[in-house]
Structure 1
């Protein structure tokens, strides 16, 4: 029911009942009820009654907008949930076409022309959203309800729609029974196949592509389907290699390689990798893949002190075998297990062969590190976590180098493998593009 209250409010602040109320369509999930903030006396500007569509898990009832004090606006979402927004924040985040480009989704407003004590001239709650006219220049700002709720910061609300990728599914050796696979023609020629491929990599950390033509050109086209190829000291684009020591790296030998992630010596390690075996005449050489997130989870459950050690102690790394190569990261040392601010593990950075001299640790830390490393290795080399795959010609794999460790068995004979480092940001951009429309991105950003 619409109502207005003219207590301590300019006449222009009053709102009238609209002639038609339209359903709200929202992707926000159920917001857990929170006790209303203990706010100073405020002036009620208006109430907009709005009902959600079938996509939503809740209904908005009696959305109220209030001037709270002199420098902020309060939105009452329902009986127990409210949000407060400071005037300077609202003006800086104006979503009108003059302040935020509707096509490029980039800010156009000049932040530094906003008075630090900016005041509202009028505030209205309508079916379009929260409308504010500012007193310094009569500029009108309109804020969509979905956008306001998704970006509530005082307090932060649960159910926020953000860019978090799908929840990872952890795996061990059992993944061999049903590994994530897409077909080459499906991935290359359909949006559904592309979306499936991208989702496989985000959820499982890897995906096979079957039916790939056994050429370097087709492999490169496949790589470019999901992101651009990242250059490195190995090659400007996709490469193929055999055991010829063309580079001073054990990858260019026929030796066995323990499970590891690549380019731990880069300040920004390679995000994704692609492998496709083009030729093989010999024995051995099976590929090894291990879910680093699963290994970390096992370590944390069994040996939390070891997990903490590998998350905090810093390890120096390098690549320096070739005469013209000397690569070390900045900062010089990095942790093996790296986390977001909320404690979520986002990156495993481990190659014991590329580890530099541990001269940065105290005597106590040396003992802690080697004890933790032994426990990590026990979990990493368990038969329950190792997934071995022959990777026959025609089957390519793309895997997340921040999550999935790889290795191989020793081999004899001739083995030609194509490979590429892929750009993580470009991959994530394409993955998100398959999940969000342009209108939805405008709500999230």
Structure 2
């Protein structure tokens, strides 16, 4: 079993991974962006462009979003119905410690993915800075976890294999009414399917006591997460951007919303002062993939399935569609 798993990790990626575009800090020169008008247009072409960017890069900015929670929620629902968690369905919050979570503080947050303590971590996260007054700081941090993993695999294969096989216990216990832990032990930092990396699951603040290590794995595992963190926090990996409801720049014109693939891109922020008001929501990975698949059929159809749909179809969809 172990030998087979390691052989799977060493095998070359299958074609399903080819559409990904890995990136580091230099993406600041031309980050994937769509306008709010494009994303909200009735013909859905802008929505397809938006979700295609997320599919390729793991994130996308949406420029020109009105700085209101109503506009942000309407934008979120363009993807699909929202996923309710212990933080609600749509969140609108400041650093008032209303919830037992570091997001509700002014502290710096290192690169992390959200809801690692769920059996099925949330898929997409959309967040939008509505207000920041009376202070400074609060820059947004984005890191491509797949890019960092590719470097770790190239330079430290043994560490990569440990992070791909050792389950990491996690929990959320900040609220008196909640105590979340995954119902599966299949929770390594790096999750693979058919030899392809499909998910990064990392939040050091939510990590519980490690209890699945053999004695001879303890020091190598902690060395592995040291190497992982060193690469995550490298200037080559970190993309920092100062978002503002009123900031106008050539690259990010006006108020920007941000969508990240929570299974791939880690996010964080620098410490800040003053009042900083954020809002946003989660969408499930299945809802996002469904919307992207339907839009792909309309705007970038596979020629074979499109041709066969004319002769054998269900609801206009080819019976030879890859998903059927």
TM range (shorter): 0.7 to 0.9
Alignment of 1:281-320 (within 5 A): 281=133, 282-320=135-173
Say yes or no: does 1:202 pair with 2:55.
Answer: yes
Alignment of 1:362-377 (within 5 A): 362-377=214-229
Q: 1:405 aligns with which of 247, 250, 266?
A: 266
Structure 1 residue aligned with 2:111: 259
CA deviation string 1:189-239 (max 9, x = no partner): 13221110010000000000001111100000000011211000010x211
Q: 1:443 is paired with a residue of what secondary structure? A: coil
* Inter-partner Cα distance in structure 2 for 1:288 and 1:204: 15
* Inter-partner Cα distance in structure 1 for 2:97 and 2:318: 47
How far off its partner does 1:305 sit? 0.5
Say yes or no: does 1:356 pair with 2:208.
Answer: yes
* Inter-partner Cα distance in structure 1 for 2:125 and 2:318: 28
Contact (CA 8 Å) 1:272, 1:399: kept in 2 or not?
Answer: yes
Q: 1:425 is paired with a residue of what secondary structure? A: helix
Contact (CA 8 Å) 1:266, 1:329: kept in 2 or not?
Answer: yes
Q: How many residues align?
A: 282
CA deviation string 1:168-194 (max 9, x = no partner): 100000010000000101110132211
Structure 2 residue aligned with 1:230: 83
Structure 2 residue aligned with 1:380: 232
Contact (CA 8 Å) 1:239, 1:419: kept in 2 or not?
Answer: yes
CA deviation string 1:130-173 (max 9, x = no partner): xxxxxxxxxxxxxxxxxxxxxxxxxxxxxxxx9x5871100000
Asked which structure has the greater CA Rg, the reply is 1
Structure 1 pair 202/165, CA: closer, same or farther in 2 (3 Å)? farther
- Name structure 1 gaps, 5 residues minimum: 1-161
Q: 1:412 is paired with a residue of what secondary structure? A: coil
Structure 1 residue aligned with 2:296: 435
How far off its partner does 1:333 sit? 5.9
- Name structure 2 gaps, 5 residues minimum: 1-14, 246-254, 310-316
How far off its partner does 1:325 sit? 1.1
Structure 1 residue aligned with 2:93: 241
Q: 2:95 is paired with a residue of what secondary structure? A: coil
Q: 2:129 is paired with a residue of what secondary structure? A: strand
Higher relative contact order (CA 8 A, sep 6+): 2
* Inter-partner Cα distance in structure 2 for 1:275 and 1:165: 26
Q: 2:161 is paired with a residue of what secondary structure? A: helix
* Inter-partner Cα distance in structure 1 for 2:186 and 2:175: 21
How far off its partner does 1:332 sit? 4.4
Contact (CA 8 Å) 1:317, 1:333: kept in 2 or not?
Answer: no
Most deviating of 407-416 and 352-361 = 352-361
Structure 1 pair 441/433, CA: closer, same or farther in 2 (3 Å)? farther
More helix by share: 2
Q: With structure 1 as the length reference, what TM-score do the two structures score?
A: 0.62
Q: With structure 2 as the length reference, what TM-score do the two structures score?
A: 0.84
* Inter-partner Cα distance in structure 2 for 1:333 and 1:353: 19
